[in-house]
Amino acid sequence: MPELTKTPVETEVPETGALAAAEPVREKARSLWQDAWRDLRRNPVFIISGLLITFLVVIAIWPGLIASGDPGDCDLAHSLQGSAAGHPFGFDQQGCDVYTRTVFGARASITVGVLATLGSAVLGGVLGGLAGFFGGWWDTLLSRLADVFFGIPILLGGLVFLSLVGGSLWSVITFIVLLGWPQVARIARGAVVTVKQQDYVQAARALGAGSTRMMLRHVLPNAVAPVIVVSTIALGTYISLEATLSFLGVGLRPPTVSWGIDISSASSSFRNAPHMLLYPAGALSITVLAFILLGDAVRDALDPKLR
Amino acid sequence: MAEPILEVRDLVKHFPLTQGVLLKKQIGAVKAVDGVSFDLLRGETLGIVGESGCGKSTLAKVLMNLERATSGQVLYKGEDISRLSGRALKAVRRNIQMVFQDPYTSLNPRMTVGDIIGEPFEIHPEVAPKGDRRRAVQDLLDVVGLNPEYINRYPHQFSGGQRQRIGIARGLALRPEVIIADEPVSALDVSVQAQVVNLLEKLQDEFELSYMFIAHDLSIVRHISDRVGVMYLGKMVEIGTDTQIYDHPTHPYTQALLSAVPVPDPEAREGRERIILQGDVPSPANPPSGCRFRTRCWKAQEKCAQEVPLLAVPQVLSGPAAHDSACHFAEEKDVVGAA
Amino acid sequence: MTTTTEKSVNPQAGKAGTPLLEVRDLHVEFRTRDGVAKAVNGVNYSVSAGETLAVLGESGSGKSVTAQAIMGILDSPPGFVTQGQINFQGRDLLKLSEKERRRIRGAKMAMIFQDALSSLNPVLTVGYQLGEMFRVHQGMSRKDAKAKAIELMDRVRIPAARERVNDYPHQFSGGMRQRIMIAMALALEPDLIIADEPTTALDVTVQAQVMDLLAELQREYHMGLILITHDLGVVADVADKIAVMYAGRIVETAPVHELYKQPAHPYTRGLLDSIPRLDQKGQELYAIKGLPPNLLRIPSGCAFNPRCPMAQDVCRTDIPVLHPVTDSRGSACHFWKETLDG
Kindly state whether C293 is in contact with chain A, defined as any CB-CB distance less than 8 angstroms.
yes
Chains in contact with B, counting 3 or more C-beta pairs less than 8 Å apart as contact: A, C
Mean pLDDT, residues C118-147: 86
Residue-level pLDDT, tens digit, chain A, 307 residues: 344 443 333 333 333 333 333 344 445 667 778 888 888 888 888 999 999 999 988 888 888 777 777 777 777 777 767 777 777 777 777 777 778 888 888 888 888 889 999 999 999 999 999 999 988 888 888 888 888 888 888 888 888 888 888 878 888 899 999 888 999 999 999 999 999 888 999 999 999 888 889 888 899 888 888 888 888 888 888 888 888 888 888 877 777 788 888 887 777 777 777 777 888 888 888 888 888 888 888 888 876 554 4
Sequence-ordered list of residues with C-beta below 8 angstroms from that of A96, at least 6 positions apart, any chain: A71, A72, A73, A74
Mean pLDDT, residues C115-129: 85
CA angle B286, B289, B290 (to 5 degrees): 145
Task: Tell me the pLDDT tens digit for each residue of C206-216.
Answer: 888 888 888 88
Q: How far is C11 from chain A (nearest CA, A)?
A: 32
Mean pLDDT, residues C60-77: 88
Kindly state whether residue B161 falls inside one of the protein's structural domains. no
Kindly state whether residue B20 falls inside one of the protein's structural domains. yes
- Domain locations in chain C as residue ranges: 16-97+232-302
**CATH number of residue B43's parent domain:** 3.40.50.300
| pLDDT at site B294 | 93
Chains in contact with C, counting 3 or more C-beta pairs less than 8 Å apart as contact: A, B
Burial class (CB in 10 A: 0-12, 13-18, 19+), B224: buried
Cis peptide before B266 (omega within 30 of 0): no
Number of domains in chain A: 1
Nearest to B147 by CA among B130, B166, B119: B166
Mean pLDDT, residues C274-287: 81
Kindly state whether residue B120 falls inside one of the protein's structural domains. no
Q: Which of B101, B159, B233, B263 should one mutate to test binding to chain C, selecting the residue with the greatest count of C CBs within 10 A? A: B263
Q: State whether residue A84 is helix, strand or coil.
A: strand
Number of domains in chain B: 1
Please indicate whether, in this complex, the C-beta atoms of A206 and B93 are within 8 angstroms of each other.
yes
pLDDT at C14 over 60: no
pLDDT at C2 over 60: no
Sign of CA dihedral B281, B285, B286, B287: positive
Domain that holds residue A150: 107-254
Of C287, C289, C297, the CB nearest to A22: C297
Kindly state whether residue B159 falls inside one of the protein's structural domains. no
Instruction: Yes or no: say if B102 and B161 are a contact pair by the CB < 8 Å rule.
Output: no
Kindly state whether residue A208 falls inside one of the protein's structural domains. yes
Nearest to A227 by CA among A307, A129, A157: A129
- Which residues 234-293 of B are in CB contact (within 8 Å) with A? none
Kindly state whether residue A136 falls inside one of the protein's structural domains. yes
Rounded Cα gap, residues A191 and A128, in angstroms: 9
Architecture of domain C16-97+232-302: 3-Layer(aba) Sandwich (3.40)
Q: What are the chain C neighbours of B337 within 8 Å (beta carbons)?
A: 279
Rounded Cα gap, residues B140 and C145, in angstroms: 62
Kindly state whether residue A250 falls inside one of the protein's structural domains. yes
What is the pTM for the complete model shown? 0.82
Phi-psi region of C84 (alpha: psi -120 to 50; beta: other; left: phi over 0): left
Instruction: Yes or no: say if B241 and B227 are a contact pair by the CB < 8 Å rule.
Output: yes
**CATH number of residue A235's parent domain:** 1.10.3720.10
| pLDDT at site A66 | 79
Mean pLDDT, residues C89-102: 88
Q: What are the chain C neighbours of A42 within 8 Å (beta carbons)?
A: 33
Domain that holds residue B211: 4-95+176-325
Residue C248's pLDDT band (cuts 50, 70, 90): very high
Kindly state whether B157 is in contact with chain A, defined as any CB-CB distance less than 8 angstroms.
yes
What Cα–Cα distance (Å) separates residue C75 from each residue in A48, C31, C71, C87, C90?
A: 29, 11, 11, 21, 25
User: What mean pLDDT is reported for chain C?
Assistant: 86
Q: What percent of chain C has pLDDT over 90?
A: 30
* Gyration radius (Cα) of chain A, Å: 26
Q: What percent of chain C has pLDDT over 70?
A: 95
Strand segments (E) across chain C: 21-32, 35-47, 52-56, 79-88, 91-92, 109-112, 192-196, 224-229, 241-246, 249-255, 323-326, 329-331
Q: What are the chain B neighbours of C287 within 8 Å (beta carbons)?
A: 191, 194-195, 198
Please indicate whether, in this complex, the C-beta atoms of A199 and B100 are within 8 angstroms of each other.
yes
Cis peptide before C324 (omega within 30 of 0): no
Task: Tell me the pLDDT tens digit for each residue of C39-58.
Answer: 999 999 999 998 999 999 88
Instruction: Yes or no: say if B135 and B170 are a contact pair by the CB < 8 Å rule.
Output: no
The secondary structure element, H or E, covering residue C207 is helix C204-221
Instruction: Yes or no: say if A67 and A283 are a contact pair by the CB < 8 Å rule.
Output: no
Ramachandran angles phi, psi of A26, nearest 5°: -70, -5
| pLDDT at site B278 | 78
| pLDDT at site C25 | 93
Instruction: Yes or no: say if A4 and B139 are a contact pair by the CB < 8 Å rule.
Output: yes
Kindly state whether B167 is in contact with chain C, defined as any CB-CB distance less than 8 angstroms.
no
Please indicate whether, in this complex, the C-beta atoms of A206 and B64 are within 8 angstroms of each other.
yes
Q: What are the chain C neighbours of B192 within 8 Å (beta carbons)?
A: 291-292
Residue-level pLDDT, tens digit, chain B, 339 residues: 578 999 999 999 999 888 766 666 778 888 999 999 999 999 999 999 998 888 999 999 999 999 999 999 999 988 999 999 888 999 999 999 999 988 888 999 889 999 999 999 999 998 888 888 899 999 999 999 998 988 988 888 888 889 999 999 999 999 999 999 999 998 888 888 898 999 999 999 999 999 999 998 898 999 999 999 999 999 999 999 999 999 999 999 999 999 888 877 777 767 777 888 877 788 888 899 999 999 999 999 999 999 999 999 988 888 888 899 999 998 888 887 654
Please indicate whether, in this complex, the C-beta atoms of B145 and A2 are within 8 angstroms of each other.
no
Rounded Cα gap, residues B282 and B285, in angstroms: 9
Task: Tell me the pLDDT tens digit for each residue of C262-273.
Answer: 899 999 999 988
- Where do the H-state alpha helices sit in B106-248? 113-123, 133-143, 160-172, 190-207, 218-224, 242-247
